[in-house]
Amino acid sequence: MADTASITDKATESLSLVAKWWDAHQTMIIDFAINAAISLVILILGYFAAKFIRYVLVKILDSRKVDPTISHFVGEVFKFIILAFVVIAALDNLGIQTTSLVAIIGAAGLAIGMALQGSLSNFSSGVIIILFRPIKVGEYIIAGGAEGAVQEVSIFNTTLLTPDNKFVVVPNGSILAGNIVNVSRMPTRRVDMNINVAYDSDIEKVKEILVGVAKKIDIISKDNEPSVTVEALTNHAVKMSIKVWTDNSNYFAVIAQYLEAAKKELQSNGIVIPVFYER
């Protein structure tokens, strides 16, 4: 019974201490909870407001015929600036001295810069891409170990869409770190193709046939004469090189149409296309 009474007394004493602590701090706790709820609302509303403002800004720039590469980048920059102000406002509402926080961040700037040097490099690369515009939205590029049509140039990365519909995200720093091959910047493009013929083929006749095939295909440019030369003498065949010009958008169509037509024309003229297997 004594032990039970002792436990009861201790429990009563603990509850009394909790009640006293609650009475002493009740106002502060309620105020903090209210401020925390308000700060959370500020963060949520600020996030959606930043996305909405970005959307409206991009729409306005697009309506004024601004290059999509620039409009999307500017929209992203404004979005992050607004989010930064939203976070500061939320912290300030909680009673956190943002001036002190900014001072602390400034003092720790070197350490943060070292830790985020990859992201900062991507950001600065994004700015350079926007300023000098080696790539634009809609262009087909080969850069950063990837290739595809540019969908968007954002603050830290560039998104590409491959011909087989793969979505590729490439850091901006990787794009500027190497060569950028902009396949679609120029209106026309040269198409290089190779066809093997047997060693006993009449080379002049082969050239005549291959040039004739090029002239029959409408989407091959008539402003530039087709070029047909002997590229190499392999162990199995004579490799012929065909070079023609076309509009950039017709590049792959030219390859498909030309190779099919050339095969039919060569065979109908008795020119053998060797078949061999690699071992």
Q: Structural domain boundaries of the chain?
A: 2-104, 135-182, 188-268
Cβ neighbours of 155 (radius 10 Å): 19
Which pLDDT does position 92 carry in this prediction?
A: 80
Question: CATH number of the domain at 135-182, please?
Answer: 2.30.30.60
Residue 67 DSSP SS3: coil
- E strand or H helix at 188: strand 188-197
Cβ within 8 Å of residue 38, ≥6 positions away: 93
Question: CATH number of the domain at 2-104, please?
Answer: 1.10.287.1260
Residue 128 DSSP SS3: helix
Per-residue pLDDT of the chain (279 residues; tens, 9 = 90+): 555 656 666 666 666 666 676 666 667 777 777 888 888 888 899 889 988 988 888 888 888 777 777 778 788 888 888 888 888 888 887 777 666 656 655 655 555 455 455 667 787 888 888 888 899 989 999 999 999 999 988 888 999 999 899 999 999 999 999 999 999 999 999 999 999 999 999 999 999 999 999 999 999 999 999 999 999 999 889 999 999 999 999 999 999 999 999 999 999 999 999 876 444
Planar angle of CA 54, 56, 58, nearest 5 degrees? 65
Q: Which residue has the tokens 């869409």?
A: 161
Which pLDDT does position 233 carry in this prediction?
A: 94
- E strand or H helix at 206: helix 203-216
d(Cα 223, Cα 210) in Å, to the nearest integer? 17
What's the DSSP call for residue 199?
T
d(Cα 67, Cα 153) in Å, to the nearest integer? 11
Which pLDDT does position 23 carry in this prediction?
A: 67
Which pLDDT does position 109 carry in this prediction?
A: 56
Which pLDDT does position 278 carry in this prediction?
A: 43
d(Cα 135, Cα 260) in Å, to the nearest integer? 34
d(Cα 180, Cα 173) in Å, to the nearest integer? 12
- Give the bridge partners for 227, in sequence order: 243
Residue 177 DSSP SS3: helix
Q: Does domain 188-268 have CATH number 1.10.10.60?
A: no
d(Cα 18, Cα 23) in Å, to the nearest integer? 8
pTM over 0.75: no
CB–CB of 126/155 below 8 Å?
yes
